[in-house]
Amino acid sequence: MSDILEKLTVCVERGKANKVSPYPPDLKGQDGADELTAEAIKKGISPDDILQKALVVGMSNIGQKFSEGKAFVPEMLMSAKAMKAAMVHLKPFFTSGEVKQKGTVVLGTIQGDLHDIGKNLVAMMVEGAGWKVIDLGVDVGFDKIEQILKDNPGTIVGLSALLTTTMVNMKTVVEKVKAMNPDNIVMIGGAPVTQDYCDEIGADFYSSDPQGAIDYLNGIAS
């Protein structure tokens, strides 16, 4: 059992999505996250173990390297692809409630902004860390978030922006979320965002990389 999970960890960390994927070159022709996850489920390994002992570890490893400047966006994107391939097999277990998740996070690229690669990476990492993720996509204003917060009070809100011109829209969303519930957590991130800006608009947390958000969320969950 541990052999498969170890291999799966490597696949997620190194971005090996499936057997036909030529990347990374030294794993060419070997099973990827897709095949290994299917195999693990078939062998009766619990979806929770697959998530916690393989996917979470793999994403955390690559996230750590990214924070340290030892891995870069192209590698993160490949890991996200591998993660996605594994998640296809695990999704049914999440919806059935068989896998216990740590909480719910709603994520979106802020109103007016279309740049979603950073947000997608965070979504993968958060999901990989054992949280339920509601990804609202791009161009997300308060109107889209409001219903989710009504249905699931306490859902953590995460917003990203890549443009200085759209970052300003975060302020409005934070204000409106806080007006609904002053204790509702809002995390923000993206290239132009800073800790100062986070403080200025009254958001709860800022991180310059996805791993920081994971550490913060895990701190809340424990």
Partner 1 sequence: MGRDFTIKLEPLGEKLRVKENTPLKDILFKYGIEFPCGGKGICGGCKIKMLDGDIPLNREHQQALNKLGLSPDIRLACRSIVTSDLTLEIDQFETFILADSSSFRFTPAEGFGIAIDLGTTTLVAQLLDLSTGHVLDAVTRLNPQAEFGADVISRIEYAIRNAGLSVLQNLIRESIAAMVNKLIFRHKVAVTKVVIVGNTVMQHIFSGLDLTPLSAYPFESKKKAFYSFSPEELKFHTEINAEVLFLPSLGSFVGSDILAGILATRLHQSKKYIALIDLGTNGEIVVGNKDKILCASTAAGPAFEGTNIRMGMRASTGAISSIRDNGDGIKFHVIGNEVPKGICGSGLIDAIAVFIKKDIIDVGGKIKDNTDHIELKPPVIISQRDIRELQLAKGAIAAGLQILLDQLEITHDQVESVYIAGAFGNFINIENTRRIGLIEFQEDKIHKMGNTALIGAKMSLFLDEEDIEPILAITDHVSLEMIPDFQDLFADKMMFE
Binding-site ranges for partner 1 (CB under 8 A):
15, 22-26, 69, 72-75, 77-78, 80-81, 111-117, 120, 138-139, 163-166, 169
- The least distance separating partner 1 from the CB of residue 79, rounded to whole angstroms, comes to 10
- Closer Cβ to partner 1, 98 or 200, answer by number: 200
Per the DSSP assignment, residues forming a β-bridge with 140 are 110
Output the smallest distance, CB 164 to partner 1, in A. Answer: 5
188: left (phi over 0), alpha (psi -120 to 50) or beta: beta
Using alpha carbons, list the distances in angstroms from residue 69 to 11, 65, 96, 125, 209: 20, 6, 38, 17, 10
Give the three-class secondary structure for 206.
strand
| Closest separation in Å from C-beta 78 to partner 1 | 6
How are the residues of the chain apportioned to helix, strand and coil, as percentages rounded to the nearest 5? 55, 10, 30
| For partner 1, the closer CB: 41 or 77 | 77
Least Å distance, CB 44 to partner 1, is: 30
Residues 6+ apart with CB under 8 A from 199: none
Q: Distance between CA atoms of 162 and 7, rounded to whole angstroms?
A: 35
Closer to partner 1 by Cβ: residue 142 or 205: 142
Nearer to partner 1, 112 or 212 (CB): 112
Q: What are φ and ψ of residue 190, in 5° steps? A: 125, 160
User: Whole-number minimum distance, CB 138 to partner 1, in Å?
Assistant: 7
Kindly tell me which of 165 and 181 has the beta carbon lying closer to partner 1: 165
Residues in the chain, how many? 222
In the complex, the smallest distance separating the C-beta of residue 152 from partner 1, rounded to whole angstroms, is: 26
Concatenate the DSSP letters of all residues of 2-40 into one string: HHHHHHHHHHHHHT--STT---SGGGTTS--HHHHHHHH
Nearer to partner 1, 35 or 75 (CB): 75
